[in-house]
Amino acid sequence: MQPNPYTPGQVPRVLVGRSVELGRIRDRVSRVATFGELGGPLLVFHAPRGLGKTSLLRTAQRDAAAVGFVSAWVACSRERPFLPELVRAVERALTRAEVIPPGDAGLRWRARLERISLELGVPGAKVRADLGRRGQTAHDSAADPTAGAAPIAALEDLLHDAAVAIRDRGGAGLLVFLDELHAASADDLATLLNGLQNLDGEREENPLAVVTAGLPVTPEALTRAATFGERSSFVPLDLLSDADARTALAAPAESLGVAWTDEALDRVVGEAHGHPYVLQLVGSATWEAARPSEGDVIDLAAVTAGVPAAEEQLSAMYRARWGAATDGERAFLTAMAAADTDNVTRAQIAHRLGVDTRSISVPRERLIEKGVIEPVGHGLVRFTLPGFGSYVRGRT
Ligand SMILES: Nc1ncnc2c1ncn2[C@@H]1O[C@H](COP(=O)(O)OP(=O)(O)OP(=O)(O)O)[C@@H](O)[C@H]1O
Ligand SMILES: [Mg+2]
């Protein structure tokens, strides 16, 4: 049997259907490489879980390394501030690129980074109200206008010094990747946005770019952290088209000399509804069922044999999402699932619950934040994981 080429939960071997998004990153990267200047405002990819945000950023990171960029990567989390982690990530990247020499020669760099890290991590020394966060009064804003200056300056120093040092040593510049950006605190986001804005004031001296990804609430979180956060470049990631979904299945197999029948491909593409994680999952389960060698063909029987294992994994995910929902959110999900269509209107849900549409906005927002459902325009929402609706119907 050939080794399984599918990658549920990992960066895919073949990243399909994302050439436009990769192009957006490449534009920024070439600006840094060619002009040695800041690669534009914050670039923010947003999408529900499993649509390929991390995979996109990892692919871009690899491509940029090939043209001489040094990159630092941080996955934000609610548990800890990401800025001190960014210092560590930059330090690791500079060490790996030998910009920071090993041993005593690197001592000055390391001492400097340590100081920056302290300034970024000091509790209470964070950015506050003067940054125009919504919902605050003029009085609050006047409270302590200099509160955030130190961490912002520290972040600027970090990015500027690192980028210039990389460039001086013949590198193209610094790339910062921030994944799971929705999980960052408002204070940290405000520091990031203000720091980048200041660096843009001297953009010719800052050969770097920051590329980020997060759940669909990320644009809102950024705009709330600082009003000018809305000038970041927001790019949604969509489901894959049927043609791209077929390529995501066929291409990794083809490179091992294994083909799929059209029927088998149609079946998996139909199951996955363009959802990249589900495609990888069903692809992988099918491969395990078929155990193909070079020259073999994966047919419908293999898909049918593989699907139960994939379904088991998906059920575990449905259960986790249901388990994390409050009673109010479960009522919302139940009403939504009862509609039994892909996209459901606010009115349909409210009607089922016997309430007016305004009173469902809290569970709706919370479920969007958690990435369980997503808005699709005109007040419509859909489940972000295929099959979740029928799971909910099965429970109730
Ligand atoms: N363009 C793509 N082509 C093929 N497979 C993909 C693509 N994008 C993502 N995948 C696959 O989909 C799955 C989810 O990808 P990834 O982890 O990048 O998503 P994510 O949006 O970062 O999810 P999360 O929000 O949970 O972190 C992985 O198994 C990956 O292999
Ligand atoms: Mg991810």
312 with 359, same domain? no
The edge-to-edge listing of strands for the beta sheet with 233-236 is 69-75, 173-179, 208-214, 43-46, 233-236
Structure tokens at 108: 């000055």
Burial class (CB in 10 A: 0-12, 13-18, 19+), 3: exposed
Dihedral-angle region of residue 371 (phi above 0 means left; psi in -120 to 50 means alpha; beta otherwise): left
User: Which pLDDT value is given to residue 337?
Assistant: 97
Kindly give the number of the ligand 1 atom that is closest to the alpha carbon of 51.
21
Last residue of a domain, one of 321, 355, 371: 321
247 with 109, same domain? no
Question: Residue 265 carries which side chain, given as an amino acid letter?
Answer: L
Pocket probe mutation, ligand 1, options 25, 51, 281, max atoms within 8 Å of Cβ: 51
Does residue 51 fall inside a structural domain? Answer: yes
- Centre of ligand 2 to C-alpha 182, Å, is 11
The ligand whose atoms approach the alpha carbon of 10 most closely is: 1
How many domains are there within the chain?
3
Residue in the block written with tokens 């692809």: 283
What does DSSP assign to residue 256? T
Kindly give the number of the ligand 1 atom that is closest to the alpha carbon of 9.
29
Rg, the chain, Cα only: 24
The dihedral through the CA atoms of 40, 46, 49, 53 has a sign that is negative
Residue having the nearest C-alpha atom to atom 8 of ligand 1: 52
- CATH number of the domain that residue 154 is part of: 3.40.50.300
What does DSSP assign to residue 146? T
105 with 127, same domain? yes
Last residue of a domain, one of 236, 258, 289: 236
In a 3-state reduction of DSSP, which class is residue 73? strand
- Centre of ligand 2 to C-alpha 343, Å, is 24
User: Which pLDDT value is given to residue 138?
Assistant: 37
Does 9 contact ligand 1 (Cβ within 6 A)?
yes
DSSP per-residue codes, 182-243 = GGS-HHHHHHHHHHHHHHHHTGGG--EEEEEEE-TTHHHHHHHH-GGGGGSEEEEPPPPPHH
User: Which pLDDT value is given to residue 122?
Assistant: 59
Residue ranges of the chain with per-residue pLDDT less than 50: 124-147
99 with 145, same domain? yes
Pocket probe mutation, ligand 1, options 55, 181, 238, 282, max atoms within 8 Å of Cβ: 55
Which residues are paired to 235 by β-bridges?
45
The ligand whose atoms approach the alpha carbon of 46 most closely is: 1
227 with 285, same domain? no
Closest among 227, 105, 348, 115 to 219, alpha carbons compared: 227
188 with 306, same domain? no
Last residue of a domain, one of 199, 215, 236: 236
Contact 2, 293 (CB under 8 A): yes
Domain that holds residue 283: 242-321
CA angle 75, 77, 79 (to 5 degrees): 145
Query: What gap in Å lies between CA 301 and CA 306, rounded to an integer?
Result: 9
Does residue 8 fall inside a structural domain? Answer: no
Closest among 391, 383, 388, 390 to 48, alpha carbons compared: 383
121 with 80, same domain? yes
Does residue 9 fall inside a structural domain? Answer: no
Question: Residue 75 carries which side chain, given as an amino acid letter?
Answer: A
Surrounding residues of ion ligand 2, Cβ less than 5 A: 53-54
336 with 214, same domain? no
Query: What gap in Å lies between CA 151 and CA 292, rounded to an integer?
Result: 56
Does residue 5 fall inside a structural domain? Answer: no
- CATH number of the domain that residue 330 is part of: 1.10.10.10
Q: How far is CA 168 from CA 36, 291, 376, in A?
A: 11, 52, 47
Task: Give the DSSP H/E element, type plus range, for residue 173.
Answer: strand 173-179
23 with 129, same domain? yes
Query: What gap in Å lies between CA 217 and CA 239, rounded to an integer?
Result: 17
174 with 282, same domain? no
User: Which pLDDT value is given to residue 142?
Assistant: 37
User: Which pLDDT value is given to residue 396?
Assistant: 79
Q: What share of the chain is helix, strand, coil (3-state, %, to 5)?
A: 60, 10, 30
85 with 205, same domain? yes
- CATH number of the domain that residue 275 is part of: 1.10.8
Contacts of 313 (CB under 8 A, 6+ apart): 8, 281, 285
Does residue 314 fall inside a structural domain? Answer: yes
Contacts of 252 (CB under 8 A, 6+ apart): 5, 6, 12, 13, 14, 283
User: Which pLDDT value is given to residue 46?
Assistant: 95
> Mutual orientation of helices 388-395 and 327-338 as an angle, nearest 10°?
110
Query: What gap in Å lies between CA 216 and CA 320, rounded to an integer?
Result: 20
User: Which pLDDT value is given to residue 218?
Assistant: 93
Does residue 253 fall inside a structural domain? Answer: yes
Does residue 4 fall inside a structural domain? Answer: no
Does residue 275 fall inside a structural domain? Answer: yes
Contacts of 123 (CB under 8 A, 6+ apart): none
In a 3-state reduction of DSSP, which class is residue 65? helix
Query: What gap in Å lies between CA 183 and CA 246, rounded to an integer?
Result: 33
60 with 186, same domain? yes
